[in-house]
Structure 1
Amino acid sequence: MTALVLALLVPWVAGGLLVALDGRRAAVAWAGVAVLAADLVALAVLAARVLPDGQVTVATGGWPAGVGIVLRADALGVTFAILSVLVLLASAAAACARPRERTFPGLVVLLAAGLDGIFLTGDVFNFYVFFELAMTASYVLTASGGTRRQMRAALVFAAVNLLGSFIFLLSIAGTYRTTGSLAMADVAARAADVEPNAALLTATGFFVAFAVKVGIFPFHFWLPTVYAGARPAVAAILSGAVANIGSYGLLRFGAGIFPEQLALGAPVLIVLGAASIVYGAVLAISRGDAAEMLAYSAIGQVGYVLVALGVGGPVGLAAAVLYSIVNALNKTVLFLGVGLRGALVAASFAVGALSVAGVPPAAGFIGKLALFRTGVAAGSWALVLLFVLGSALSLVYLFQVYQRDFWRGDRSGSPSPLPLRALTAGAALVVLVLGLWPQPLLAAGDAASAALTGGWG
């Protein structure tokens, strides 16, 4: 219980303090990194308790259930919360480059607080509150740098995600109107008794809100502008950590709260996921800039998660969780390396590229293997061929960028600062280690799947 409270309280309080300080000072920037590291330790302690025992639930303030704020940590939430390590890596990269905005370190810590709250709450409305905290910090971070391109990216990001937030809020209202509760456990228990059309409409609203957040085709139109326009460290945070809100939301609200509606919409999810895979890969091949290529690649990669979610069942849900983790790691490695020079960066980019394409020994191979199992379990060789096609196209567009940037000398010249290269290499090393020792990934996927299918008890 203490670890659960600390995981939320530490970044919340520290973020408020750091925002008031001058983040352009090295000491303040590294203090933000230290806070994120402490938060990661609390999450690791929480994970060590949750994974064996199943879940930890706390009603804050001593209020009775249904009145107080309910914090709930299960295998799915803890797995996604642990990915805050990606925010830590990106924050360290920004500290090495010396932030040019005084509020940058504090905003990153507040963003981490919002993400922790999203993944560790048991209440739909509190999910929305933490969601807005994370989104507000993301808007400001996207504009960091102050260039015209970054301001445009922030404006697009804010406008589109405010629309998603509005749809999400309407769905919350519909949930309370039909079930009489906002506690996730109660909503899940009562959803089966709700009038079918009302339940389907509410579930569709949640799907659209999260589809906008994660950038699934055809809700993707904002994503290339934002990811390509943001600074590399910010793009790594947005694509590697913030985008997980969409993946987590689809899993939690789909398989966890509205499983019947998810089953009804499964063919639509598979079609949209397949379209995202092909569309994102084809557009990525046509891009010459590394950041733009990665932005369109992100559209395609999330399609795999959607297809696995549409297939469903223990195998499909485990694959969706596992690939969400691998995809977040891959995007962080690749976005952190954007614009950097040196042989270490080239090697790190190669690891990330191989992982995206699903080539061993990178962790992406484990993710693609889980997807292939999903296709076989569904009895659909068309899905297996789709995954093969998507992997082949991924290898093509990533090899194009690697050839242009590192073989032809577009990133020639003096190597980038060693700390930045070392951080990128460290993230790539994690991808390699998880590919060579996949047990933690497989265990996380299975435990999260069991948390979704095992009920709320």
Structure 2
Amino acid sequence: EWERERFYYYAFIQFLITGVNGSFLTGDIFNLFVFFEVMLLASYVLLSLGGLKKQLRAGIMYVLINIVSSMLFIVAVAYLYAVTGTLNMAHLSVRVAEAGQPDLLTAIALLFLVIFAVKSALLFFYWLPESYSAPPTAVSALFAGLLTKVGVYAIFRMFTLIFYHEPGITHSVIAWMAGLTMILGSIGAVAYGNIQKVLAYNIVIAIGFIVIGIAVFQEAALTGAIYYLIHDMVVKTLLFLLGGAMVGLVGTYQLKEMSGMIRNHPYLGWMFFIASFALVGVPPLSGFFGKLLVLQGTLETQFYVLGAIGLLSSLAVLYSTMKIFMNGFWGENQLSKEDEKTSTQGLLLPCTLLICVSLFLGIGVEWVNPYVAEAASDLMNPAVYIEAVLGPA
């Protein structure tokens, strides 16, 4: 809306993207902290832009939680620098291997894990459903696709490149956190009858599933986790846009107060249906290949319980998204075109582009997978990155 746009909405979107790109590209752990803060400061403004009561209530909780986690982040960076004497990630990897204080480094590693778990909604996700359902649809969709994924990326980067000295402790803790996250996220997704809350809890389920890749620490699982991460960024953004369109049409978030929209908006309905099946991992859609490789990794490393939880969470995803589809699009049509609160004009084009990307990730897996597999191989062999940064040993 124009009232929000004139308060520098587009400028803060650019700051948010800057923070995300900087977090992905930096090779220095202090710069990672800085870019996280750039991203978070922009998200604080975007979350509260408009000044609605629910935005301010969710914004206070979101800001406080991230301030505490950022404070712990800078403390953890200071401890790590005190032990290793460097902040360059490649150099940190070498110094951690040479350091003679494994217990202290394990404590620092667990502190970093808690910090990034809060930022990615891994187990500590109590802030996410309220925060992601408060802002306008365009902001919620961007948050759903990007913000938590930066925290997941940081976990992958830290625990493959730097903290690999005690995988029996750190990766076991990550496995427990992934399993509990999927269980609790599934309960929330099934229990709620609010579109935005259901979709928010599906973000939580996906975070737990993606982190299985680093928990089992096996190349096939890592490949699948990266592929599923890319797919999830696209499909979650799409689902939040489609869910926002549904809310805009009927003027309510409650599923029990809507039905029959497929009669007036068949394209919207079938896009939601396809996106839901992609999220579950129905072949040949984009979620299938990544999910298959992650589950294959759990079987090969004998993480059977984690694999079973991942499969059961897929059923929770299917049930919760079909609940939205059946309640929102099926049944008796309650609204005529004239009664609709807003229009979908202009929204269907970006949704169409996103669903095309999702279909390409599923059907074109043979073209995409070599790049994803190479990324997973480099994560499993940090010497490749170290040599690229520091030169030959």
Same fold by TM (over 0.5)? yes
Question: Could you tell me how far 1:104 is from its partner in structure 2?
Answer: 0.4
Tell me, yes or no, if the aligned pair for 2:289 and 2:362 is still in contact at 8 Å. yes
**Normalising to structure 1: TM-score of the pair?**
0.75
**Number of residue-to-residue matches in the alignment:** 361
Letter in 1 for 2:291: K
Q: 1:345 aligns with which of 249, 261, 268?
A: 268
Rounded to whole Å, the distance in 2 between the matches of 1:417 and 1:400 is 22
Divergent runs of 4+, >6 A: none
Secondary structure (helix, strand or coil) at the match of 1:233 reads helix
Q: What corresponds to 1:198 in structure 2?
A: 104
More deviation, 278-287/415-424: 415-424
**Aligned match of 2:193:** 288
Mapped contact 1:281–1:394 kept (Cα < 8 A): yes
2:358 equivalent in structure 1: 431
2:305 aligned residue: 382
Gapped runs of 5+ residues in structure 1? 1-22, 25-97
Does 2:137 align with 1:232? Answer: yes
Pairwise CA distance, 1:299: 1.1
Deviates more, 1:257-266 or 1:325-334: 257-266
1:303 and 2:208 matched: yes
TM-superposed deviation, 1:182: 0.6
Q: Where do residues 376-415 of structure 1 align in structure 2 (5 Å cutoff)?
A: 376-408=299-331, 412-414=335-337
Question: Contact 1:167 / 1:209 at 8 angstroms: preserved in 2?
Answer: yes
Look up the match of 1:134.
39
Provide the C-alpha distance between the structure 2 equivalents of 1:133 and 1:398, rounded to a whole number of angstroms: 33
- Cα distance in structure 1, aligned partners of 2:333 and 2:120: 31
Residue 373 of structure 1 corresponds to 296
Instruction: Check if 1:157 corresponds to 2:62.
Output: yes
Cα 1:163–1:120, aligned 2, differ >3 Å: closer, same or farther? same
Query: How do 1:93-242 residues align onto structure 2 when only pairs under 5 Å count?
Result: 99-194=4-99, 195-217=101-123, 219-242=124-147
Moved more, 242-251 or 438-447: 438-447
TM-score by length of structure 2 reads 0.87
Alignment partner, residue 18 of structure 1: none
Matched, 1:325 2:230: yes
CA contact (8 A) 2:102 2:165 kept: no
Distance 1:159 1:134, change over 3 A: same
Distance 1:134 1:361 in 2: 34
CA deviation digits over 1:21-40, x for unaligned, max 9? xx94xxxxxxxxxxxxxxxx
Query: Counterpart of 1:213 in structure 2: which amino acid?
Result: K
CA deviation string 1:264-283 (max 9, x = no partner): 22222112111111211121
Residue 259 of structure 1 corresponds to which residue in structure 2? 164
Does structure 2 conserve the Cα–Cα contact (< 8 Å) formed by 1:319 and 1:370? yes
Change (3 A) 1:175 1:396: same
Shift of 1:263: 4.2
Report if the CA contact (8 A) 1:212-1:220 is conserved.
Answer: yes
How many Å separate the matches in 2 of 1:123 and 1:323?
A: 26
Offset from partner CA, 1:51-70 (integer Å, 9 cap, x none)? xxxxxxxxxxxxxxxxxxxx
Superposed displacement of residue 335, structure 1: 0.6
- Kindly state the Cα deviation for residue 203 of structure 1 after the two structures are TM-superposed: 0.9
What is the RMSD computed on CA atoms of the aligned residues? 1.9
User: 1 CA distance for matches of 2:106 and 2:135?
Assistant: 36
CA contact (8 A) 1:280 1:299 kept: yes
1:416 alignment partner, SS class:
coil
- In structure 1, the residue matched to 2:152 is 247
CA contact (8 A) 1:153 1:230 kept: no
- For 1:411 and 1:176, the matched residues in 2 are separated by 62
